[in-house]
Structure 1
């Protein structure tokens, strides 16, 4: 049973903001993570109640109110809002099959509706999402080609939530077909009315806004080398802008009279409708619903990342507040290392204690483990000597290194691995190359007569 929001607001005593505690949590996070720059805000229904800007961008310029960030999958609730607006205008039926708008999608081995795309229950898999996302520049496949690639892919389990950015890429293609210019519709009828005045939807807008490279981790060190913007990706992850832009979207979730749709419609969109396997979350129309750990409060949130940037938006309706955090560094294996800050700020807003910064143990184990493998394989490969025992050792170690490198790069895909996990991928390639040399040396030695 859902308790009416008005009753929740009456029952939940207001928690005065403690800016010093918020700022202290941010300082602790920056010290532990080494993130070069970030911006954060606590938002109420009328204004930003507290905000902060720390560190520098990828060119060493101090982060301030004009600094743009990419938002990653926080674009998804914005895209879902655009779909709801088109439905409200009578131009889109969320319960119509996708091939109503994209006849070329009829070849997909399931029959998803537009709503299924937004709930991510369409049968589109994570694997195909990895293949079709994060393409940059003039050589990037077109939106039409990517839709065709998704339509030709093998479905997973329709009706079950499987997170895949390909769902929102197809949803964007549907709205492109309906509007004739999805990016233009998004700018003119969603972003501008919402007060997201400097939000960006593509690489040219990013260039004009002064977006600079974000940071990827190379052996734990943030390096500003992430420069890509996917021009077909605004619907699933390549939306961006300043802290004020995303704060405006957050504020819209709290207003009694929002500039788009109405408060009940936005609240229904946030509500979890399908369970997220393996978690206590439910997924709505571009939103996740869960109970914030360390509290008893229901929150609605979405996080997101692209190479070099990570973002989190958390709405706490019982407190009539939201938390927005934007950061300019990321590694896929250190997701909670970065995202813990937004959750800790939300706990403070809810009157609870923080859980402190989160370490990056999975990332450290992967990158230093892979580097250790390179060292071992290199030592075995280059060790002087041509004895048969050493050759046998080289054969075993070399074959194992090649197999491990092939397994890693084939599981993630060479391009996504190098994009999202550059240091681990480079170490894997180095280990595989050294392993191949070791195997060849072993074969030459063992081929000789004893």
Structure 2
């Protein structure tokens, strides 16, 4: 194992004298013995440091008010919601389910932004009843429905408009969300965004507090984010000229990249690069248009939680097959579909013992009935034997939130590690859980 690989793991990670991985002061082998595998571990220290990195960057780079709002879709449970509440940051949700978990975990409703491109009336009513801080309107029909619902319950709901800034990004096409043909947001190109903003300003049930965009994920170049911010402020200037309105808040979304492999880590710009460029773009454009600086809202998800998470699997058989050798583990597609969905790359290390100097090239694959059930392709590892543990770093985002019961798999347990304490925050599913919804 190289130092570069260990750098992908949580800040607290180290290798002890026996060759075992330690995270959060807890021996991973003993933790796996206690809670079983597949197992997801989250390091509290790394989570806290990620928030502080954003706070520090904003305080250095942006002269106005600013807010961090965590994107819940990356990973949300009651424990992470409690952590969010304790850190005093905002939270973005995209469904009634995420809203319910956030509230159950103690996130103040007025810190919550409700996103989504197809909210139902039930979800809008749920958000109004809870008193969420902002509802992010995606299309004209939603604006009309929300206005009617808000008036009916005697509220004037603060909203943002999600604007499609028509910005292309160099990332996987499934995670590009700001181009002209995206399903998200109100088009700048055809004038819809401006027309809906003018409509919102005339309505009694909503208060237009700001503008929002999100252009994609795993972004390593801050320039498209800066361009998107500039285009939103150009829209704001036109609205100011027409009505006198100015945005109190401007959200440029999230999407900053994380490294999943040592090669990616070598050329990953730091968070401050992203924050500095977006801040500069906002300040310059506001100065150019004579706009007051809005509160700048950044919405990191993956870049807050991914590196804090480690997935731990137990090795079963090691099986040669033609030109490749498979190392089978007890998880895969059901708890992490990202390789199958996006071609996502990962690395792994032997977590329970010191490996031999010799190396074996393997595909790490799961037990599920899909040829695509592969976690890692063509990785060099020490020769593995049944019962070994493999730890996969950067597993904290978009794995548990995408996990399924495919092949009636039981979703894994989740353990929070901090100061030598291992706390079970989500138990492993049971067979009874699988059957609980069945009525006949």
Alignment TM-score, normalising by the size of structure 1 = 0.26
The structure carrying a bigger helix percent of its residues is 1
The structure carrying a bigger strand percent of its residues is 2
**Looking at CA atoms only, which structure, 1 or 2, has the larger radius of gyration?**
1
Alignment TM-score, normalising by the size of structure 2 = 0.27
